[in-house]
Structure 1
Amino acid sequence: MVTKGERTRRRIVERAAPVFNTRGYFGASMGDLVRETGLEKGGIYNHFGSKEELALAAFDYSVGVMSERFDEALEGRMGTLEKLLAVVGVLGGMAEDPPVRGGCPVLNTAIEADDAHRALKERARGAATDWLRLVGSIVKEGVASGELEGGTDPRKVASVVVATLEGALMLSKLNDDPAHMERAVEHLEEYLRSLSRPDAGSAQAGRGS
């Protein structure tokens, strides 16, 4: 059973996440957090020992929302190409529908915390690594099943997909123009289709029989 304290803690995290994701760790003041959560400073510190602890929890929450999106997008997807395009769709959708107000939490945190906040940088690195592994594992399965060309490198494909979409997200946000993301998604869809074997459909059917 969820306790009142746990509910309050979660509410603080949910309301603090957009503050950190929009203003950054150093730009977000306790006044901003007090205003957003509706709690006094002491009330926040009753649940979190420091601003850093709250920022880390808020980042974990934001990444968790992204994980839920991946799970929903991949649910029921059978083919390798279908799964890869679903992942592209989730990451590509962040330009106009971010998981938390302010954009991609991994991109925002990686840029701000690069040389300034080691703990947040490690969190961002871990989340990015999880995304790379997700794409790489799908590609690896596709090669093993015969749906993708045998020489396809899972790590290379993962790097190309994640880096292209995160870079496009940065340009879209910087220029207030989602066209950068739209072009990136279109390019990646063509790229991923080019990796599929011509007989991929029959290979998948054979697996399911």
Structure 2
Amino acid sequence: MRKPQYTKEKIIKESSILFNTKGYKTTSLSDITNATGFTKGAIYKHFENKDVLEMEAFENMFKQITKTLLLKIKKENNSKNKLFAILDFFETYITHPFIKGGCPILNVAIEFDNTNSPLKDKGRIGIKYLKDSVIKIITNGKKHNQIDPNLNEENFAILFIASIEGSIMMSNLNNNSKDINIVSNFLRKYIEEKIIL
């Protein structure tokens, strides 16, 4: 790997951890220089400003999540197990996060909830991606007679994602996985009893 590419990737990696643990607004350029070992000049050589770095860091974290989640979903051969794979992913994410600081989509949503920041738009895209993934699973499940045809896929997807993200927030606040486990177990039971044929 060429040195400029290595430098840029290291800046994104270290900044991602800072933004996702400390917050985007409270992470200073000095925090980033301390974490990376690079000067401000080196950082500005690769990123026009902190806003651009924030966007690229979020996109990098989002790509990591979607790539990992998609692989887990694709491994499964029926709708129930695909939905369970999503639950498994987020349950494990609480205890063994591969990105420090929790779910980047949730963190952006909370930090920028009352702003018009481009990062809020990125968070909105992230939630839409998760919702659309669940809708696709439900739609395909209906086609293959695995899921109740009367189920409203969009309503279910909203409840499913909101329950997961809310339980992640509660588990993070309480420093344990109890809340996400309770929600995950409830959703598993609901899926098996109410929507799977």
Q: Given the two structures, how large is their TM-score scaled by the length of structure 2?
A: 0.95
Shift, 1:122, TM fit? 0.2
**TM-score normalized by structure 1?**
0.90
1:148 and 1:123 map into 2 onto residues whose CA distance is 31
Note the residue ranges of structure 2 that are not aligned, 5 or more in a row.
Answer: none
1:37 maps to 36
Distance 1:69 1:122, change over 3 A: same
Aligned to 2:196: 196
By how many angstroms is 1:192 displaced?
1.2
Q: How many residue pairs align between the two structures?
A: 196
Give, in angstroms, the shift of residue 196 of structure 1.
0.5
Kindly provide the CA deviation profile for residues 91-147 of structure 1, in whole angstroms up to 9, marking residues without a partner as x: 222222223111110001111112235200000000110000001100011011110
* Aligned 1:11-30 pairs, distance under 5 A: 11-30=10-29
In 1: Cα distance, 2:159 partner to 2:92 partner: 17
What is residue 63 of structure 1 aligned with on the other side?
62
SS at 2:87's partner residue? Answer: helix
State how far apart, in whole Å, the 2-side matches of 1:113 and 1:135 are.
25
Aligned equivalents of 1:93, 1:162: Cα separation in 2: 16
Q: Report matched runs for 1:177-188 at 5 Å.
A: 177-188=176-187
Q: Which amino acid aligns with 1:92?
A: E
Alignment root-mean-square deviation, CA: 1.2
SS state at 1:81 partner:
helix
Larger radius of gyration: 1
Unaligned 5+ runs, structure 1? 198-209
Q: CA deviation at 1:29?
A: 0.7
Separation (CA, whole Å) in 2 of partners of 1:66 and 1:126: 13
Question: What are the residue-to-residue correspondences of 1:71-86 with 2, within 5 Å?
Answer: 71-86=70-85
Work out whether residues 62 and 99 of structure 1, in 8 Å CA contact, stay in contact via their aligned partners in 2.
no
C-alpha separation in 1, matches of 2:116 and 2:26: 13
Who is 2:120 aligned against? 121
**What amino acid sits opposite 2:153 in the alignment?**
P
Matched with 1:168 is: 167
Alignment of 1:77-116 (within 5 A): 77-116=76-115
Q: d(CA) in 1 for partners of 2:73 and 2:173?
A: 29
**Contact residue 165 and residue 181 of structure 1 kept, 8 A:** yes
Query: Alpha-carbon deviations, 1:68-111, whole Å to 9, x = none?
Result: 22122123311111111111211222222223111110001111
In structure 1, how many angstroms separate the alpha carbons of the residues matched to 2:29 and 2:111? 18
Mapped partners of 1:117, 1:20: distance in 2:
18
- 1:183 is matched by which residue type in structure 2? I
Comparing 115-124 and 146-155, the one that deviates more: 115-124
SS where residue 75 of structure 1 aligns? helix
Runs (4 or more) in structure 1 with deviation over 6 Å come to none
